[in-house]
């Protein structure tokens, strides 16, 4: 069985760690590879940091227009290999082939946006701020940057950061999730064709010891993290305590309100896609669905109808709309949360437990589940389920629904379905969430906008993607300059 190697200083190197963890296809438990996983992966980090440090010294002097040239080539490489990468994502992560491909499309859009860095990195200049004095700001790279990613978007999430980091003149070390490391390994194999300076991009496997190695190494200056809230908070605290700039995106529990004036049939279809897409394993998955006023009965019927027809199975098979969850432990956790919801008084409208998929009896499959009237003071209403489970609630007014949204500990996304502009305006003004959707089920910002997130969904100041990424990967330097007339040479 193949043991994955790290990519350090332009070469594929064996890890110092001999212990490994299996990389497993969640649809059938097939072992796809072994990834280094143990206490000694921290030593791999040291080697990667040394290489990244040397590359940074050269790269920071390279003009920005030259730094973006490899990104144009990268866009074409990713496009050429999109089907191959998408198949790999489905194999190790479980989502459907179409979902995997859509994820890579988002990755490519980030590469395209980062090609605009020569413009985005431009800064400010004020002439004559005082007599004979000019003042300006320049943006310089921060240095070695670490990117730590979660299992649910193995291809896209590193690209919220990597293209911007290198376009801004930094070197990077990517630490993919140990559950899905194959996608980044393949992407790095492709990136070898970019002829980047050795050590500019590095890939180190492992879990907590690798992450701690990055958080504690004094030469690492910036840390970009995406994952669960508890880990995000830890990364932010430990990284900041060590003097690094940190952006740490966490978990979510996303509410969606359906007003009686919405186009109910369309809204139900979009909401069901949001809840069950990627088997609910998206940080922008709708989870708590609130019907308002007299829409409850019709919305409920439409949602049950949309949910029960979702075809579940192996993501590479034709016609499959929903794949498995990532591990047997995740499946058991989701099943327990469904049980908990019922014990807290919810009515089980659809029960997706005991899903049997022909040919994939060992897969971590759950079918769409709907819990109605989940207890407002219970555990399920607040817990990120990260599985194909919808909690359906009813509120009398929009105000009541917004108050519910704003009691959420998270703040990744909140959506409203309505045909009234004033409802939409009120909602987007008052809802406490970083990404707002109006008649949208998954309010995922395009690459040119920051991927926002509030409360326990984000720790830091600047998010991934777009201008925020440029600001995160550069530090500002202010120059105040005086050239007295009396020093001038006379011609």
| Residues involved in catalysis | 283
User: How many other CB atoms sit within 10 Å of the CB of residue 87?
Assistant: 15
Q: Is 184 helix (H, G, I), strand (E, B) or coil?
A: helix
In DSSP terms, which residues pair with 435 in a beta bridge? Answer: 413
Q: How many residues bind ligand NAD (CB under 6 A)?
A: 28
- Judged by CB under 6 A, the residue of 207, 411, 441, 445 near ligand NAD is 207
**In which residue are the tokens 């984000």 written?**
458
Of the two residues 145 and 418, which places its CB atom closer to ligand NAD in the complex? Answer: 145
Tokens of 3: 């043991």
- Judged by CB under 6 A, the residue of 231, 278, 320, 447 near ligand NAD is 231
For residues 399 to 418, the per-residue mask of contacts with ligand NAD, x marking binding by CB under 6 A and - elsewhere, is -------------x------
Of the two residues 160 and 427, which places its CB atom closer to ligand NAD in the complex? Answer: 160
CB of 184 vs ligand NAD, minimal distance in Å: 11
Q: Is 308 helix (H, G, I), strand (E, B) or coil?
A: helix
Residue 13 burial by Cβ neighbours in a 10 Å radius (0-12, 13-18, 19+): middle
Residues 401 and 29: their CA atoms lie apart, in Å, by: 42
Q: Which residue's C-beta sits nearest to ligand NAD?
A: 227
CB of 458 vs ligand NAD, minimal distance in Å: 7
- Judged by CB under 6 A, the residue of 177, 287, 369, 455 near ligand NAD is 177
Of the two residues 25 and 418, which places its CB atom closer to ligand NAD in the complex? Answer: 25
Of residues 259 through 318, those in contact with ligand NAD by CB under 6 A are 283
CB of 206 vs ligand NAD, minimal distance in Å: 7
Residues 468 and 448: their CA atoms lie apart, in Å, by: 9
CB of 93 vs ligand NAD, minimal distance in Å: 10
CA 459 to chain centre: 14
Of the two residues 199 and 450, which places its CB atom closer to ligand NAD in the complex? Answer: 450
- Is there binding between residue 88 and ligand NAD (CB under 6 A)? no
CB of 300 vs ligand NAD, minimal distance in Å: 26
CB of 21 vs ligand NAD, minimal distance in Å: 10
Cα 87 to Cα 7, 94, 326, 363: the distances in Å are: 22, 10, 16, 17
- Is there binding between residue 227 and ligand NAD (CB under 6 A)? yes
Of residues 12 through 71, those in contact with ligand NAD by CB under 6 A are none
Name the segment binding ligand NAD (CB under 6 A); options: 54-62, 161-169, 250-258, 470-478: 250-258
Name the segment binding ligand NAD (CB under 6 A); options: 127-135, 188-196, 206-214, 270-278: 206-214
HSE at residue 378, side-chain half, CA atoms within 13 A, is: 19
CB of 195 vs ligand NAD, minimal distance in Å: 28
- Judged by CB under 6 A, the residue of 17, 44, 99, 384 near ligand NAD is 384
Best CA proximity match to 448, nearest among 462, 468, 428 = 468
Of residues 447 through 486, those in contact with ligand NAD by CB under 6 A are 451, 453, 457
Query: Torsions phi, psi of 155, nearest 5?
Result: -95, -40
Tokens of 209: 């010891």
Of the two residues 59 and 234, which places its CB atom closer to ligand NAD in the complex? Answer: 234
- Is there binding between residue 178 and ligand NAD (CB under 6 A)? yes
Q: Which residues contact 458 (CB under 8 A, 6 or more apart)?
A: 232, 247, 248, 249, 250, 411, 412, 434, 452
CB of 209 vs ligand NAD, minimal distance in Å: 9
HSE at residue 361, side-chain half, CA atoms within 13 A, is: 1
Tokens of 269: 């279809």
- Judged by CB under 6 A, the residue of 141, 158, 250, 445 near ligand NAD is 250
Of residues 146 through 175, those in contact with ligand NAD by CB under 6 A are 148-153, 175
Residues 238 and 233: their CA atoms lie apart, in Å, by: 9
Of the two residues 207 and 313, which places its CB atom closer to ligand NAD in the complex? Answer: 207
Residue 59 burial by Cβ neighbours in a 10 Å radius (0-12, 13-18, 19+): buried
HSE at residue 357, side-chain half, CA atoms within 13 A, is: 23
- Is there binding between residue 208 and ligand NAD (CB under 6 A)? yes
Name the segment binding ligand NAD (CB under 6 A); options: 24-32, 207-215, 298-306, 340-348: 207-215
Residues 341 and 287: their CA atoms lie apart, in Å, by: 13
- Is there binding between residue 226 and ligand NAD (CB under 6 A)? yes
- Judged by CB under 6 A, the residue of 143, 251, 255, 313 near ligand NAD is 251
Residues 441 and 444: their CA atoms lie apart, in Å, by: 9
- Strand ranges, E, within 99-219: 125-130, 133-141, 144-148, 171-175, 201-203
Pairing type for strands 347-350 and 369-372 reads antiparallel
CB of 443 vs ligand NAD, minimal distance in Å: 12
Of the two residues 423 and 457, which places its CB atom closer to ligand NAD in the complex? Answer: 457
CB of 423 vs ligand NAD, minimal distance in Å: 26
Task: Enumerate binding residues for ligand NAD (CB under 6 A).
Answer: 148-153, 175, 177-178, 207-208, 211, 226-228, 231, 234, 249-252, 283, 384, 386, 412, 451, 453, 457
């Amino acid at each position: 069985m193949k043991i994955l190697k790290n990519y350090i200083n332009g070469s594929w190197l064996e890890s110092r760690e001999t212990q490994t963890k299996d990389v497993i296809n969640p649809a059938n438990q097939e072992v796809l590879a072994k990834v280094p996983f143990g206490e000694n992966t921290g030593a791999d980090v040291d080697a990667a940091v040394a290489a990244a440090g040397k590359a940074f010294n050269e790269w920071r002097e390279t003009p920005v227009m030259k730094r973006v040239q490899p990104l144009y080539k990268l866009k074409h490489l990713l496009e050429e290999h999109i089907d191959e990468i998408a198949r790999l994502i489905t194999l190790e992560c479980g989502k459907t082939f179409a979902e995997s491909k859509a994820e890579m499309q988002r990755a490519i859009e980030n590469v395209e946006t980062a090609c605009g860095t020569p413009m985005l990195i431009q800064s400010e200049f004020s002439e004559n701020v005082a007599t004979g004095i000019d003042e300006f700001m320049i943006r310089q790279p921060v240095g070695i940057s670490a990117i730590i990613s979660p299992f649910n978007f193995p291809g896209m999430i590193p690209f919220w950061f990597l293209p911007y980091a290198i376009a801004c003149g930094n070197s990077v070390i990517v630490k993919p999730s140990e559950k899905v490391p194959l996608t980044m390994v393949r992407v790095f194999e492709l990136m070898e064709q970019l002829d980047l300076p050795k050590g500019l991009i590095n890939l180190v496997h492992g879990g907590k010891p690798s992450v701690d190695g990055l958080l504690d190494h004094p030469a690492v200056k910036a840390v970009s993290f995406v994952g669960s809230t508890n880990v995000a908070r830890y990364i932010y605290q430990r990284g900041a305590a060590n003097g690094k700039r940190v952006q740490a995106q966490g978990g979510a529990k996303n509410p969606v309100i359906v007003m009686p004036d919405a186009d109910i049939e369309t809204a139900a279809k979009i909401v069901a896609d949001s809840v069950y897409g990627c088997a609910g394993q998206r940080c922008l998955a709708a989870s708590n669905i609130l019907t308002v006023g007299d829409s409850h009965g019709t919305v409920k019927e439409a949602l049950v109808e949309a949910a029960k027809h979702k075809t579940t199975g192996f993501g590479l098979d034709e016609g499959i709309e929903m794949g498995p969850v990532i591990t047997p432990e995740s499946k058991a956790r989701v099943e327990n949360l469904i049980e908990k919801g019922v014990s807290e008084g919810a009515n089980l409208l659809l029960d997706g437990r005991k899903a049997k998929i022909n040919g994939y009896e060992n897969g971590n499959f759950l079918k769409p589940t709907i819990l109605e009237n989940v207890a407002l003071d219970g555990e399920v209403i607040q817990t990120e389920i990260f599985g194909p489970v919808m909690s359906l609630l009813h509120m009398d007014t929009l105000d009541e629904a917004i108050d519910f949204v704003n009691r959420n500990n998270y703040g990744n996304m909140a959506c409203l379905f309505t045909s009234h502009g004033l409802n939409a305006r009120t909602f987007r003004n008052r809802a406490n969430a970083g990404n707002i959707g109006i008649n949208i089920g998954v309010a995922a910002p395009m690459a040119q906008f920051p991927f926002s997130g509030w409360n326990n969904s984000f720790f830091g100041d600047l998010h991934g993607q777009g201008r925020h990424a440029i600001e995160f990967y550069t530090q500002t330097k202010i120059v105040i300059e005086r050239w007295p007339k009396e020093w001038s040479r006379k011609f």
